[in-house]
């Protein structure tokens, strides 16, 4: 092999190693930081005009103490408050798995999440990691979030036409009880219904039921963590079922899956920034 070919091979190897190192550093230290707001306009013919223009902020998988530190939490709270939302929802996984949480950490989360302002209300459900975090209920309740677990809340705004919000538990950890969650449901004169889920697998229960819902908000999959054009998310989570991309439409039902803020077993993000979602409701006549 002549010297020119040898040098060419060596240069190619060095180039590939350099690219791999750059991608590693970017995905590990840059891709996991920063925070973007994904905005969606959600239209519905069943939504009454009193909820027209209502803003819902949705965050999920905070996974505090993964790649998310205190500065990241404070940045998220400030960004949410800049939006001035009417409703804020959190779809589970407050802290990362098997992390040691101190009293100081817990107090920090309470103080930070308490600063999130929502004109109508704040709601949360359990992610699969939240069952292990013994202070989850304390943190969320003390922060002004209503915990929905196989339950619902009736939301009024401006007049006596309500919408309903349903919270389902993590189907990895607990049984999903749709009959309890939808006690309010009536086929006739049906009201606009939002359902909070953690993992996509839970949506399967709704798919197989007779309950008609308008908006499903979830998390868990982190949209695949590492995202490539055309290919999509590379880190597959079994319990995401078939719902790991950011957005789906099934008949009248709109489904949005948050990419979350932290990381799980893959502590990398590529082309998939930490994010919160903003939904603007629009009544269509």
127 alpha carbon, distance to own chain's centre: 10
Average pLDDT, the chain: 93
Please tell me the predicted confidence (pLDDT) of residue 7: 60
| Short-list 140, 205, 212, CA closest to 170 | 205
Q: Is residue 1 scored above 60 in pLDDT?
A: no
| Residues in Cβ contact with 106 at an 8 Å cutoff, skipping those fewer than 6 apart | 135, 138, 139
Q: Is residue 234 scored above 90 in pLDDT?
A: no
Instruction: Flag whether the pTM goes above 0.85.
Output: yes
Q: Is the backbone of residue 165 left (phi > 0), alpha (psi -120 to 50) or beta?
A: beta
Please tell me the predicted confidence (pLDDT) of residue 11: 66
Task: Decide: 35 and 274 in contact? Cβ < 8 Å.
Answer: yes
Lowest mean pLDDT among 8-12, 110-114, 136-140, 269-273: 8-12
Q: Is residue 3 scored above 90 in pLDDT?
A: no
Q: What percent of the chain has pLDDT over 90?
A: 79
Lowest mean pLDDT among 7-11, 170-174, 181-185: 7-11
Please tell me the predicted confidence (pLDDT) of residue 15: 67
Task: Decide: 201 and 240 in contact? Cβ < 8 Å.
Answer: yes
Please tell me the predicted confidence (pLDDT) of residue 158: 93
Write out pLDDT tens, residues 135-176.
999 999 999 999 999 999 999 999 999 999 999 999 999 999
Longest Cα–Cα distance of the chain, Å, equals 84
Task: Decide: 261 and 127 in contact? Cβ < 8 Å.
Answer: no
């Amino acid at each position: 092999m002549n010297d020119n070919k040898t040098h060419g091979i060596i240069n190619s190897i060095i180039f590939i190693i350099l690219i791999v190192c750059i991608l590693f550093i970017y995905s590990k230290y840059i891709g996991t930081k920063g925070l973007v707001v994904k905005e969606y306009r959600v239209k519905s013919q069943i939504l009454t005009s009193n909820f027209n223009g209502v803003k819902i902020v949705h965050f999920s998988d905070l996974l505090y103490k993964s790649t998310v530190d205190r500065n990241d939490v404070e940045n998220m709270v400030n960004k949410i408050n800049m939006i001035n939302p009417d409703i804020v929802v959190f779809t589970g996984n407050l802290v990362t798995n098997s992390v040691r949480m101190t009293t100081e950490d817990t107090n920090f989360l309470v103080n930070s999440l308490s600063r999130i302002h929502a004109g109508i209300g704040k709601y949360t459900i359990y992610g699969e990691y939240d069952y292990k975090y013994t202070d989850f209920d304390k943190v969320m309740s003390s922060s002004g979030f209503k915990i929905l677990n196989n339950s619902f809340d009736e939301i009024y705004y401006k007049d006596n036409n309500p919408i309903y919000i349903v919270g389902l538990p993590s189907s990895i950890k607990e049984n999903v009880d749709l009959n309890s969650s939808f006690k309010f449901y009536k086929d006739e004169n049906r009201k606009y219904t939002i359902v909070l889920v953690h993992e996509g697998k839970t949506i399967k229960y709704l798919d197989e039921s007779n309950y008609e819902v308008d908006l499903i908000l979830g998390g868990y999959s982190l949209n695949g963590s590492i995202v490539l054009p055309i290919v999509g998310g590379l880190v597959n989570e079994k319990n995401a079922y078939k719902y790991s991309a950011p957005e789906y439409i099934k008949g009248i039902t709109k489904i949005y899956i948050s990419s979350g803020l932290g990381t799980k077993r893959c502590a990398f993000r590529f082309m998939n920034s930490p994010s919160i979602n903003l939904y603007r409701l629009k009544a269509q006549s």
